[in-house]
Amino acid sequence: MFLLQPSPSTFDVPYEWYIREIAFGEHCASVPSQDFSILSQLLQYSDHDQIRLPTRYTDEVEEEQRAITYPQYLPITASPGVLESLDVSEWLVLRAKDAYSKPNEVRGGPKDALIAYATQQAGSLLYQEAFLTTYRTIASSLELFQKLVRRYVYMCRGEDHASIKSARQTFSVIVRVVDELCAVELKRELLRAVTSFIYRLIRDGNYTFARILRKRLMYRIEHKSVIRRSIWDEVSVGGAGNKVLKASTIFEFRSSLVAKQMTYLDADLFQKIEPAEMLWWAEEQDEKKSPNLCAFTEHFNKVSYWVRTLVIQPSEQRLREKYLMKFVKIMKQLRTMGNYNSYLAILSALDSGPIRRLDWTRNVMEMLKEHSTIMDSSHSFKNYRTLLAESRPPCLPYM
């Protein structure tokens, strides 16, 4: 069973419960216990919350072990599993603020129950969106697709209105999963599973569903090819053309214009990041699974090193101070535009050790101190999070 962990600010377990556990060692045995009152006490956030445990488990009666057990033959017509059930609420841990809260908030449950609940009409759209965004933490896209196909095929065999409606809702979730596949997930095994399901839809005479699913799959494949071509163009653009351009310095351009061009570059990289890349990076930190996120982070580092180089490279202190003041003006423009990625990239460069060790006037140090408070890491970057929350969209956050 997967339980969604509450935030530390809202999780409130009585202190006396821990004292009792330590002093008397209650419920600390290695033998599994069926005492659901302890689970209910742990999940209880406040006096106003009402936790309802899965009735599928609480209704079960544990039988005593007999001396001799004989093999039990299961009937051919066994009861349907979780994925084949129309209503999986009995498998889930639900929470309601009051008796009138509908639908209830899902706090946890088995993997199959969480998948099936995302296809139920009784479930909220908010839960469905949250599930489609975070399902990769409990299952791969291939595993989820196979389980959804299994549920769809079973529901199609039913002749009642509820089963047919459940099959349509399951197919809509299948389309969402295929439509939101990342480029790194489009491997041969997953493509074979999707195309096999499309052929099954055609064989069953369901041409409309087959055309919709094939269209979304082809779009994701073409989108993957476009990303690869754009990366290749960015790599090869440096050698294009033989025209010699006049060398320009940053002082020849207005600070607002430089900030605008930097924002264009950041926005192009930021919109390529898939939400799944954030989950994969938090769990595995694999560069192959999060290529767009890594490219965005690498661009941040390049901007920071570029600023350091331009400030430190001149041998005259007067020219160094001129570069620093120019970047401070660009920072102000970036902050006005809501581009906190490049804003903090320049700020981290100007606040770095190599630049801080140089001799600066008191006026320059006061200007840097005004912006350096945002980079304060205390309280999990509270100053930056406050600044980001007060900003009006659109904005580019710092990753």
Domain boundaries, given as residue ranges, for the chain: 70-231, 255-390
Q: CA-CA distance, 358 to 352, in Å (whole number)?
A: 11
pLDDT of residue 124: 77
Mean pLDDT of 96-125: 78
Question: With 60 as the cut, is the pLDDT of residue 379 above it?
Answer: yes
250-272 average pLDDT score:
91
For range 382-389, the mean pLDDT: 82
- Cβ within 8 Å of residue 178, ≥6 positions away: 145, 194, 213, 216, 217, 220
Comparison of pLDDT for 97 and 30, the residue scoring more: 97
| Per-residue model confidence (pLDDT) at position 10 | 43
Tell me if 193 sits within 8 A of 213, measured CB to CB.
no
Please calculate the CA angle 289-3-89 and round it to the nearest 5 degrees: 110
Q: At what angle are helices 291-312 and 255-270 packed, to 10 degrees?
A: 160
Asked whether the predicted pLDDT for residue 360 surpasses 50, the reply is yes
Q: How confident is the model at residue 34 (pLDDT cuts 50, 70, 90)?
A: low
* Rounded (10°) angle between helices 125-134 and 161-179: 40
Length reported for the chain: 399
Instruction: Give 290's pLDDT tier (boundaries 50, 70, 90).
Output: confident
- Banded model confidence at residue 296, pLDDT cuts 50, 70, 90: very high
pLDDT the model gives residue 64: 58
Res. 33 pLDDT band, cuts 50 70 90:
low
- Report which of residues 349 and 75 the model is more confident about: 349
The tokens of 76 are what? 């051919």
CA dihedral sign of residues 285, 288, 293, 298: positive
Highest mean pLDDT (candidates 76-85, 270-279, 376-385):
270-279
pLDDT at 262 over 70: yes
For helices 161-179 and 141-157, the axis angle rounded to 10 degrees is: 160
Percent helix, strand, coil in the chain, to 5, is 60, 5, 35
Q: Residues 185-224: pLDDT tens digits?
A: 888 999 999 999 999 999 999 999 999 999 999 988 887 6
Residues in CB range of 134: below 8 A, 6 or more apart: 279
CA–CA dist 329, 255 (Å, integer): 6
Confidence of residue 399 (pLDDT cuts 50, 70, 90): confident
Q: Fold for 70-231, please state it.
A: Son of sevenless (SoS) protein; Chain S, domain 1 (1.20.870)
Query: What band does 44 get if pLDDT is binned at 50, 70 and 90?
Result: low
Q: What is the mean pLDDT of the chain?
A: 78
Q: What is the pTM of this model?
A: 0.64
Phi, psi of 260, deg, nearest 5: -65, -45
Q: What is the pLDDT at residue 13?
A: 47
Q: pLDDT confidence of 169, banded at 50, 70, 90? A: very high
- Least confident span in 125-139, 205-219, 239-253: 239-253
Among 274, 262, 370, smallest CA distance to 307 is for: 262
Superfamily of domain 255-390: Ras guanine-nucleotide exchange factors catalytic domain (1.10.840.10)
- Give pLDDT, residue 56: 67
Give the pLDDT confidence score for residue 239 in this predicted structure.
44
* pLDDT tens, residue by residue, 135-152: 988 889 999 999 999 999
Is 290:281 a contact under the CB 8 Å cutoff?
yes
For residue 398, name the pLDDT band (cuts at 50, 70, 90).
confident
Mean pLDDT of 340-355: 88
Q: What is the side-by-side strand order in the sheet with 93-96?
A: 2-3, 105-109, 93-96, 50-52
Query: Where on the phi/psi map is residue 109: left (φ > 0), alpha (ψ -120 to 50), or beta?
Result: left
Lowest mean pLDDT among 58-67, 163-172, 184-193: 58-67
Whether pLDDT at 236 is above 50: no
Q: What pLDDT score does 306 carry?
A: 93
Q: In the structure, what pLDDT confidence band is assigned to residue 6 with cuts at 50, 70 and 90? A: very low
The two domains 70-231 and 255-390 share their CATH topology (first three levels equal): no
Q: What is the pLDDT of residue 49?
A: 55
Task: Specify the range with the lowest mean pLDDT, choosing from 87-91, 160-164, 211-215, 381-385.
Answer: 381-385
pLDDT band at 235 (very low <50, low <70, confident <90, very high): very low
